[in-house]
Structure 1
C-alpha cells in the first residue's frame, strides 16, 4: 500500500499561512530547498487541493532562467511528477495532472491501494478531509520561528485525538523538521 505524507511549513503556533493568506515567512534556505527536491523526487504521486495547485502552477512551470539551480530543479520535478488535483470548480489541469471532482476520500483510498510507493498531500483543506479517515501515514512539519496569531491551521478540528509517534527531528538553518508517524 502506498504511504501518504502530509508535509507543510508551519508557524510555531500551528498556521500554514497568515491571516491574509501570505506564506512569505516560509522561504526555504538552500539546504531545506534541496531536502524538498530530494523528497519530491521520490514521490509517485502528488495530491493537490485547488488552491495549492493554483499556487504551484502559477510559478513552478515558469521558473525564470535566473533562478537558482535548486529552484529550476524543483520546477522540473513539479512539472513532471504525476499530480491528482481535487477540485469541484476547476475544469482543466495541466503539467501531468489529473482532475478529480468527487469524493476525495474514496479516490485517495483507491490510489493508496494501487501501489507501494510514496504520495504526498499538498493543501491544508485537502489534508483536513483525509485526516479524520486515517488516510495520512506520516506528518512532516517544518516549524518556522514565527508566531502568526491566526491564519489557516495545519490541522483541522477533530472529534478525537490523533496519536502520533515522533520518528525524526532535523534542524535546518531556518526551520526545524518534526516527522511523525500515525499510530
Structure 2
C-alpha cells in the first residue's frame, strides 16, 4: 500500500499561504525535489493543480522560462514528469500528465493508495483537510519557516478531530526553517 504524504510550507504562526513564508532558496528546493522524488503520483485539488501547473509545467518550447534559476530546474523536472490526480467538481478536463478524480473522495484515494509504488504526495490546503478528516494521510511534513505572517489561511483549520502525531524525522535548513516529519499515532489499518 502506497503511503499518502502531506507536505507544506508553514509559518511559525501556522499560516500556509504560499507567499507568506521565506522565499525558496537552493537548499529548500533540493528538499522539495527529494519530496517529489519520493512520490509516484501527486494528488491536488483544483486550485493547487492550477497554481503548480502555471509555475512548473514545461513550456511547449521545451525550454524552461528565463525567470527559473538553474537550481529550480530539478524540482520543475520532477513535478512536470510525475503523474497527477486532480480532485475537482468544476474542471471538465485536465492535462499535464493528469487525470480527474470525480468519484467518492475516500473510495478514490483508498484505490490510489492500494496501487503499488513508493507513495502519493498531496499538497495544498482544502483537499488535505478533507483527507485528514477521513484519516487517509499517513505522513505529514511541515517546513516550518521562521516567519510570523499574522494573517492568511492556517494549517488544517477546521479539522473535525484532534490527530495525535509522532515525530519521525527532523532537519534544520540553513535558513532556520525546520523540516518536521510526523506520522499519525496508531495509524495502523488506515
- TM-score norm. by structure 1 comes to 0.91
Matched residue, 1:179: 181
Larger relative strand fraction: 1
| Long gaps (5+) in structure 1 | none
Displacement after TM superposition at 1:172 (Å): 0.7
1:25 matched to 2:21: yes
Deviations 1:10-36 (Å, cap 9, x if unpaired)?
Answer: 01111111xxxx615342221110111
Residues 122-169 of structure 1 deviation map (CA, whole Å, 9 limit, x = unaligned)? 111000111011100111000111112221122132332201001111
- The secondary structure found in structure 2 opposite 1:152 is coil
In structure 1, distance between residues paired with 2:68 and 2:129: 33
Q: 41, 44, 56: which is aligned to 2:40?
A: 44
CA distance in 1, matches of 2:161, 2:155: 16
How far did residue 103 of structure 1 move? 2.2
Instruction: State TM-score, norm by structure 2.
Output: 0.87
Quick check: 1:8 aligned with 2:4? no
Looking at structure 2, the residues matched to 116 and 94 of structure 1 have their Cα atoms a distance apart, in angstroms, of 22
Partner Cα separation in structure 2 for residue 3 and residue 24 of structure 1: 28
Q: Residue 60 of structure 1 corresponds to which residue in structure 2?
A: 56
| Separation in structure 2 between the aligned mates of residue 79 and residue 99 of structure 1, nearest angstrom | 17
Aligned twin of 2:188: none
- Cα pair distance change 1:66/1:146, threshold 3 Å: closer
Q: Is the 8 A contact 1:8 1:140 kept in 2?
A: yes
Residues 1:26 and 1:90: Cα distance change in structure 2 (over 3 Å): farther
Partner residue, 1:74: 75
Name the counterpart of 1:105: 106
2:130 aligned with 1:135: no
Kindly indicate which of the two structures has a greater share of residues assigned to helix.
1
Partner residue of 2:31?
Answer: 35
Equivalenced residues, count: 179
